[in-house]
Structure 1
Amino acid sequence: MSLLDGRVTLVSGGTQGVGAGIARAAVREGACVVVTGRRRDVGERLAAEIGATYVLTDLSDVESARASAAAVVDRYGRIDCLVNAAGLTARGSLLDTTVELFDRHMAVNLRAPFFLMQAAVRDMLRRAEPGTILNIISVSELGGQPYLAPYVAAKSGLAGLTRNAAYAHRFDRIRINGLDIGWTDTEGEDVVQRAYHDAGDDWREQAAKRLPMGRLARVDEIADFAVFLLSARSGVVTGSVIDWDQQVIGGMD
């Protein structure tokens, strides 16, 4: 039997990057997958490619986020697994972040996951059935770079929310965990490196020289671990925010 055989799985922000990788892995493991995102052409193309369903969603709009969860329940009758994979990474320091940029980070990186978790947990409680939720966070939530101040604030909040919700619903057999992922090779990261850091075509090779394992993390590796955490194979684990990175947080020379 596949790890997610027949499980209805909503991957929020699942049309590209890590989210798309998790969607692919979940389909491969037998899940019935719904992906959401703002770009209809990208979402529909991915859904057709992997055998998933696409729901147009703007996570900066809380009602749109809620509607995506409702659409899954309307179509499939339930949500068994939720993955919050969207992540706005627009740069801003403590000194130059505007109110508008701060609010965008909070809306996409914290508010949308909060209310999607609320919707998923309500559905699980309505059916008196167990479920699993995985939040894709970031090692930056532990401190991060100076130019990621609003991102760090939002992702730190998501890490705390992960633990709080897991504790609140542990006796409902709803397992909620998070992954603090590190530097990963994605389409979005390529755009960010070129837009914000004047990176050239060889930025991956240059980055690899500075990393312990000699390369960036890969989406498929994170996706396989995400599927494991969503599945019964991960046992009773809940409330864990796991550092998924090649750097050792707190280690120093």
Structure 2
Amino acid sequence: MSVLPKVSLAGRCLLVTGGTQGIGEACALAAAEAGARAVCITGRNAKRGASVVAALRALGSQAHFVAADLSDADATAGIVAQAEAALGLVDGLVNAAGLTDRGTILGTDIALWDRLFAINARAPFILTQAVARRLVAEKRSGTIVNVITMSSHGGQPFLTGYSSSKGALAVLTKNTALGLRPHRIRVNGINLGWADTPGEHVIQQKDGNPPDWLDRAAPAQPFGRLVSAPDVAGLATYLLSDASGIVTGSLIDFDQNVMGAYE
């Protein structure tokens, strides 16, 4: 009789980008709750970073914060070394940070396009490469989870650059899953649907929606609410853990709508 494996990250050392708020923070805290030995978070807000580090330590994990702007390739390239200097070998990575700025094909300038790709595609590439190289050198297995978006399927017209950059991350997920499979390093992605996050609240305000936009939007959704950060963290923790077995190269649509199906 088989026994379902427990979702546990005991003994693991995780690196989570965008870990100072929203999806990244939830993934970091969920990892600690699942028994991760250590969790390193990245972000630009040192005050928020210190707060999350304190929460992680209260949950029993070693914790460290690396201040970094992921639009800076050199700064991004140094994150893994800083994490490992503080906490030891990183064997799990969550690329949760992302830029969601608007722009149509007619209105997106090259600077915005480049910044979207730098944060949403290049940074995950740099970090995946750094983590994978260390794991291969140490002959260790590992897991990587990329937080993507349903917009990677095509997206709305006002999200041209964002959708394109996340589409690149979706392809990177599958490509690296195959390339790293011989080393038993698994790579999976979460195509996130409309989610209730601090970043989304800021965007809604910029778009001119009222402060109570969430109270208006939630009842109209199929399940009466938006996706939450803990929802995503639970799936990410599962994918990082041995409970997900040999799953690799999967892009999971985490949304209330079913792509390709219409009423």
TM-score range, shorter chain: over 0.9
The answer to whether the Cα contact below 8 Å between 1:208 and 1:214 also exists between their aligned partners in 2 is yes
Where does the alignment leave 5 or more consecutive residues of structure 2 unmatched? Answer: 1-5, 58-62
The answer to whether the Cα contact below 8 Å between 1:11 and 1:36 also exists between their aligned partners in 2 is yes
Which residue pairs with 2:30 in the alignment?
25
More divergent stretch after superposition (39-48 vs 136-145): 39-48
Which residue pairs with 1:206 in the alignment?
216
How much does 1:76 deviate?
2.6
Matched, 1:248 2:253: no
What is the SS of the residue equivalent to 1:26?
Answer: helix
Pairs within 5 Å for 1:80-91: 80-91=91-102
Aligned identity (percent) is: 45
Q: Distance in 1 between matches of 2:54 and 2:250?
A: 33
Pairs within 5 Å for 1:96-135: 96-135=107-146
When the two structures are aligned, how many residues end up with a matched partner?
Answer: 252
Q: Distance in 2 between matches of 1:5 and 1:177?
A: 20
Matched, 1:152 2:163: yes
1:182 to 171, 193, 203: 193
How much does 1:210 deviate?
2.5
Q: Distance in 2 between matches of 1:201 and 1:61?
A: 33
The answer to whether the Cα contact below 8 Å between 1:166 and 1:174 also exists between their aligned partners in 2 is yes
What is the SS of the residue equivalent to 2:234?
Answer: helix
Amino acid paired to 1:159 = A
What is the SS of the residue equivalent to 1:169?
Answer: helix
1:226 to 222, 236, 239: 236
Matched, 1:13 2:18: yes
Q: TM-score, normalised by structure 2?
A: 0.93
Which residue pairs with 2:50 in the alignment?
44
More divergent stretch after superposition (128-137 vs 74-83): 74-83
Which residue pairs with 1:139 in the alignment?
150
Amino acid paired to 2:241 = S
Q: Distance in 1 between matches of 2:35 and 2:127?
A: 23
The answer to whether the Cα contact below 8 Å between 1:179 and 1:243 also exists between their aligned partners in 2 is yes
What is the SS of the residue equivalent to 1:10?
Answer: strand
Q: Distance in 2 between matches of 1:234 and 1:165?
A: 18
Matched, 1:3 2:8: yes
How much does 1:30 deviate?
1.2
Q: CA RMSD in A?
A: 1.1
Q: Distance in 1 between matches of 2:77 and 2:35?
A: 25
Amino acid paired to 1:167 = L
What is the SS of the residue equivalent to 1:25?
Answer: helix
Where does the alignment leave 5 or more consecutive residues of structure 1 unmatched? Answer: none
1:79 to 62, 65, 90: 90
Q: Distance in 1 between matches of 2:204 and 2:106?
A: 21
How much does 1:50 deviate?
2.3
The answer to whether the Cα contact below 8 Å between 1:2 and 1:30 also exists between their aligned partners in 2 is no
More divergent stretch after superposition (142-151 vs 204-213): 204-213
Amino acid paired to 1:47 = V
How much does 1:201 deviate?
2.3
CA deviation string 1:150-189 (max 9, x = no partner): 0001000000000000001111100000000101111111
What is the SS of the residue equivalent to 1:175?
Answer: strand
Superposition misfits of 4+ residues, deviation over 3 angstroms = none
Q: Distance in 2 between matches of 1:231 and 1:248?
A: 26
